[in-house]
Amino acid sequence: MRNRQTAFIAVTALFFLWGFITCLNDILIPHLKSIFSLNYTDAMLVQFAFFSAYFFFSLPAGYIVKRFGYPNGLMIGLVTAGVGALTFYPASLLHSYGVFLAALFILACGITLLQVSANPYATALGPRESASARLNFAQAFNSLGTTIAPAIGAYLILSTVSPSSISFFKTNTDFPYIAIALFLFGMVFVFKKLSLPTVTDESLQQDNVGNVDKGHALRYKNLFWGVFAIFFYVDK
């Protein structure tokens, strides 16, 4: 029981982290628009590169979780996101907008895998009766991350007083994303040390949602219409 509580705390930290990272995109747009002299269409490729990963990588992420399990899925997601964040440094060295977009796509692929792993895993780390409460609590930290990211990101990326004044950092994006990469890799070490409890799809269905008739997911009306609801919510 104690191991599951510790695991839930660690997973909740991931909700905060990907909320923080996602919100940094809004800070990146004006910064990259300025240094690459982009028009508004080209600048918005930042959001396209990031969120297209959710579309293209969601099914592969599901396969990875099914193949390797939820704990390993979390760690693979952390490594993938860390590689994406670390790619910001060669992008700044090459002064290449395309490499920045590739870095964002890789970063978002890792976050996609984290979300596919962490959401159901959080519901399984405790009694069935409190599963929805645990998920809502974890998602509250996601909102906290999106709340404080603009202030911190604006200071580090848009401010003229930033760590980029140190010769090692070539642009204002280097320090925050290298720091994020190191934190993500550090979380892999933490998760490895925690020996996260294994949760199978079968036990997840039985413990949290009862007996679910297997079949194509989109034939469930609530899920089908929920997909459209989320699309229009994000598109607003």
Cα separation, 174 vs 230, in Å, equals 32
What pLDDT was estimated at residue 231? 79
| Tokens 């950092």 sit on residue | 169
- The tokens describing 212, both together, are 């679910």
Which helix or strand (DSSP H or E) is residue 113 part of? helix 97-124
pTM equals 0.86
Least Cα distance to 8 among 110, 115, 124 occurs for: 124
Give the separation between CA 136 and CA 144, rounded to whole angstroms.
13
Domains and CATH numbers, the chain: 2-199 (1.20.1250.20)
For the record, the structure tokens of 68 come out as: 């390797």
Q: How far is CA 96 from CA 1, 100, 101, 146, in A?
A: 49, 7, 9, 27
Tens digit of each residue's pLDDT (9 = 90 or more) over 156-196: 887 654 555 444 556 678 888 999 999 999 999 988 888 77
Amino acid, single-letter form, for residue 26: D
Give the orientation angle of helix 70-86 with respect to helix 97-124, to 10 degrees. 160
- Tokens at 84, concatenated: 């994406």
User: 79 with 110: CB under 8 angstroms?
Assistant: yes
For the chain, list the strands marked E by DSSP. none
pLDDT at 123 (0 to 100): 86
Residue with tokens 């940094």: 24
At 207 the pLDDT is 53
pLDDT under 70: residue ranges of the chain: 1-2, 159-171, 200-217, 234-236
Q: Residue 37 — left, alpha, or beta (φ > 0 → left; ψ -120 to 50 → alpha)?
A: left
pLDDT of residue 208: 47
Here the tokens at position 78 are 């952390």
Sign of CA dihedral 113, 116, 120, 122: positive
Q: What is the pLDDT at residue 1?
A: 57
Distance from the first to the final alpha carbon of the chain: 41
